[in-house]
């Protein structure tokens, strides 16, 4: 079992690229935001609103542990690929980064701030990007996160690429 982990800022296409990769590789997919929403029975926005970001971050780590434990990645005799799409803030915790890097290949989908702003215009599902001054917020959040994201094994610049092209690029680099 090989594990391919997609990280990156909101709007970088982690879920869409994950779905594309899963299709191309006939793999299995897990998405931390979707799983958390299912477990909590509410949207990410609502979790932030009702329980706060700190609670969300704790649940993210506990979920991550369970996903990677369940798959017992390297000891698992099964063939195939697990593609894991992560929430944009997940790699910020050192513990999460350790879990990710020991579980598989971490791929950072890097996007320029202007592309984020363009892609997420009118989006209401990202609690961290609501309100005014979105551009400034994106820039400062990205700046403060860059170092954590760059601990990935592979960086793909995704601004000009379609999800299918990104998936192909990843397969090329990983020779799969
Ligand atoms: C977050 C990104 C979101 C979601 C939550 C927090 C972040 O996921 O986990 O809103 O801190 O960057 P996406 O990256 O899938 O939008």
- In order, the DSSP letters of 70-128 are HHTTTT----SEEEEE--TTGGGSHHHHHHHHHHSEEEEEE--HHHHHHHTTT--S-GG
Residue 80 confidence class, pLDDT cut points 50, 70, 90? confident
Kindly tell me if the per-residue pLDDT of 75 is higher than 80: no
Centroid of ligand 1 to alpha carbon of 78 (angstroms)? 31
* pLDDT tens figures, 108-159: 999 999 999 999 999 999 999 999 999 999 999 999 999 999 999 999 999 9
Per-residue confidence band for 72, with pLDDT thresholds at 50, 70 and 90: low
SS3 155: strand
Instruction: Over range 44-64, report the average pLDDT.
Output: 98
Please provide residue 105's backbone torsions phi and psi, each rounded to the nearest 5 degrees: -95, 125
Give the pLDDT of residue 69.
Answer: 82
31 Cβ neighbours under 8 A, 6+ residues apart: 14, 15, 18, 84, 85
Residues with CB under 6 A from ligand 1: 10, 14, 33, 44, 87-89, 126-128
């Amino acid at each position: 079992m090989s594990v391919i982990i997609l990280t990156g800022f909101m709007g970088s296409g982690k879920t869409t690229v994950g779905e594309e990769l899963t299709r191309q590789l006939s793999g299995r997919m897990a998405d931390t935001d979707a799983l958390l929403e299912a477990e909590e029975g509410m949207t990410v926005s609502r979790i932030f609103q009702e329980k706060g970001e700190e609670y969300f971050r704790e649940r993210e780590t506990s979920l991550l542990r369970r996903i990677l434990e369940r798959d017992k990645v390297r000891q698992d005799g099964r063939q195939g690929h697990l593609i894991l799409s992560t929430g944009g803030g997940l790699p910020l915790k050192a513990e999460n980064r350790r879990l990710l890097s020991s579980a598989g290949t971490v791929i950072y989908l890097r996007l320029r701030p202007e592309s984020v702003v363009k892609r997420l215009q009118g989006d209401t599902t990202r609690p961290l990007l609501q309100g005014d001054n979105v551009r400034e917020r994106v820039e400062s959040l990205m700046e403060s996160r860059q170092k954590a994201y760059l601990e990935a094994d592979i960086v793909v610049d995704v601004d000009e690429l379609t999800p299918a092209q990104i998936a192909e690029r990843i397969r090329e680099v990983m020779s799969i």
